[in-house]
Structure 1
């Protein structure tokens, strides 16, 4: 390498190291403040290293009313929603590559146009109410099953596969459904993993649908409770303090709940699950998004 190439390589690595640190630091900041002394965290002095580490915040936050049920709802909608969306995206993406499909181009364009136009919140709410989906778990899942962007990714990926695979299956007497499940679906692992990541992150992070469609507290999602807890952090801190008796000593000051400790701890509880899941699919992500975006 020339001296100019070496300088560029060093600067390139340095840039991405700094960029990575900038992306990671907010999560690190949340973690160190959630496990540090609450009085120091509230004072804003915890910036780089945790001080007087304790885990009492997590024990107290997990006792908050409705949290376990909300976690169950969020896990359920993420798992069920992801599975149904991946299957629907895979099947529709495959069918839109079949020339024998009735009015294939019309239906494909009909699906794609919904990426650019929608009725709005009020008509959507009226539709969900008329379908009896309000205050129902399925309002989290069914409206998000058909995602045009995911269908486009899968369709482009399937078109990049050798046509000889489908032709060989047809010669062996396989039907369209058999060809999809036994030939195409096993070959689409990278793009389906990509779709699964998009869907799982979207389902886990969503809270607006709870805000619009749900009034039954037993169906609140974890993200919606996070939204409520952050808005009510001061009253929650007082409630936790009163539940422990209210009397403080020097040793209890560090673990006394504050609005800051509530915000930090609840944020970590909500963010950590998706951070653990993402690395499991990471090896498929880059390959899938590239193969699904560019026809080979």
Structure 2
């Protein structure tokens, strides 16, 4: 009975190598199917999305009396760009599914507490990443307009479509990853690497680093583009710091309670029945 309960409660820890491989194959097939379906959706949305992507450049050309356009420098360049954009959209759209498949493969080998923590981290990380990507989408027009403003008078901007797509993807990913900062800090606190007080003591250098990273991730000379990223990052940093301090207090209370129970148990004589059971 004990073996059955252990296998049911921790199934993957007792799976044979062949079962592990079959489990991994099934999870991989489901993830690939979700990616393909997401890529198909991205293919259907490619034309309206591309129109939205190049709208900042078209606005510069119309409103600032400068020549700016997207250039496809090869016969197959437009097709390659469509495929890459569709795959990128598919990866974003299907992220909840393949993330779930990944954690569903990993978590059965964890303890109950570790499994709850892992699933909680995944549930928090996805909306934070999506929120960062959405904020980057809002910042994109200002960043493009600011960067094109450096073009000398009489010059023109003939922008390669591939390079422009790379710029947009890096901007979206930079904002999305930056929004995962509180999850990383709280995770380090949970495993005991960083305490809340250590994080709080470094708030000055953190503010400086956040400003530098925001200036690099939001490539625009206008101050507002940088603050669009600085303000939420600092908010999440201090929110994570507060959660770490609360977790440190909870951990300290548990340690004090355990110490008290240990001292109380040490002062109590062990009965003959307990000694016999031992």
Q: Which has the bigger relative contact order, CA under 8 A and spacing at least 6?
A: 1
Larger Rg: 2
Scaled by the length of structure 2, what TM-score is found?
A: 0.28
Structure with more of its chain in helix, by fraction: 2
